[in-house]
Amino acid sequence: MVTGILLGKILPDLGSWLEKIKIAGVSLPIAIGLLWMMYPVLAKVKYGKAGRLLGSAKLLATTSVLNWIIGPALMAVLAWVFLFDEPAFRNGLILIGLARCIAMVLIWNMLACGDGEVAAVLVAINSVFQIVMYSVLGWFYLTMIPGWFGASTSAFEVGMGMIARNVAIFLGVPLVAGALTRYLLTRSHGEEWYESTFLPRIGPTALLGLLYTIVLMFAMQGSQILDRPQVILRIALPLIVYFGLMFFISFFVARELGFSYEETAAIAFTATGNNFELAIAVAIGLFGISSGEALAGVIGPLIEVPVLITLVYIALWLRDRLFASSISLTA
């Protein structure tokens, strides 16, 4: 993060250069980083097991409630509480809350030693729900609810095609690449070689993709952070509260429902993270690139990254204290 801010300061035109070419509203260099960090994780997924998990009613019900009822409602409440006098920033946070995670969650889950197959299934569910429900929930939270309280409303029209394109690029491309890699290499070299030789070589590159993405994100927005620290702080506070509350709610709900640590971590991080690629693209498309909504969308991942990294360590700490007996029995 510091490297990115310094890079943006040294090269003030870097942000505009990186924004020249976009994919689904996201800078091409950033998009490359997102795809790069997701591919190794999705190459690890055992897709046969992931397919069987789709039949788990308890898993589907748990993630659906956390992601599509509790998550958006919690973000909306916090946006109104912290930004009651800033409708543009408030709308931007709500757009983030509606965009459920389909990308970086795979990295957070991997770092927290969560179940990769469960995470892949939950990401797929979020993708389908996003295409169907994002526009509906956007209209509800940005148009209907403000109208109930006599506040200013926003016209919300986002086509399913735009959301489907975003999902297809940022999930579909690395998913297909990962699945094809596993199929072709296990067929030609065997399962043992793939698990013991190929994955250990390619797996660490996901972290390089994450670091590359973080540096570029902060380089592009370093001037905003340095020039408008008070605005950044106002938007950051509800985001920090949201990520913390959402993680602990999801983690302890999953634990009480009897999921293993690996499943609990996957559920918690999937419910906590957000699809900032979609939120930024929608904010820019609806309100313009210089709008407060777009600024809030951009700040979202800048706050999410350090907070979710912290939550990875908290998840591992909770594992050792709350799941120690089950882990030792499994071992």
pLDDT at 331: 44
How far is 233 from 239, CA to CA, in rounded Å?
10
How far is 218 from 302, CA to CA, in rounded Å?
7
Q: 3-class secondary structure for the chain? A: CHHHHHHHHHCCCHHHHHCCCEECCEEHHHHHHHHHHHHHHHHHCCHHHHHHHCCCHHHHHHHHHHHHHHHHHHHHHHHHHHCCCCHHHHHHHHHHHHCECCCCHHHHHHHCCCCHHHHHHHHHHHHHHHHHHHHHHHHHHHHHHHHHCCCCCCCCCCCHHHHHHHHHHHHHHHHHHHHHHHHHHHHHHCHHHHHHHHHHHHCCHHHHHHHHHHHHHHHHHHHHHHHCHHHHHHHHHHHHHHHHHHHHHHHHHHHHCCCCHHHHHHHHHHHHCECHHHHHHHHHHHHCCCCHHHHHHHHHHHHHHHHHHHHHHHHHHHHHHHCHHHHHHHC
pLDDT at 329: 45
How far is 19 from 248, CA to CA, in rounded Å?
36
How far is 317 from 305, CA to CA, in rounded Å?
19
How far is 38 from 51, CA to CA, in rounded Å?
19
At residue 23, what are phi and psi to the nearest 5 degrees?
Answer: -125, 120
The pLDDT tens digits of the residues spanning 241-254 come to: 999 999 999 999 99
Which residue segments constitute the domains of the chain, with CATH numbers given?
2-321 (1.20.1530.20)
Strand partners, 137: none
pLDDT at 212: 86
Q: What is the pLDDT along the chain (331 residues), one digit of tens a residue?
A: 788 888 888 888 877 787 777 776 667 887 888 788 778 877 887 777 767 776 788 988 999 999 999 999 999 999 999 998 888 899 999 999 998 887 778 889 999 999 988 988 888 888 888 888 888 888 888 888 887 877 777 766 666 676 777 777 777 888 889 889 989 999 999 989 998 999 889 888 888 887 887 788 778 777 767 777 888 889 999 999 999 999 999 999 999 999 999 999 999 999 999 888 778 778 877 777 667 887 888 788 889 889 999 999 999 999 999 987 655 444 4
The number of angstroms, rounded, from the C-alpha of 225 to the middle of its chain's C-alpha atoms is 21
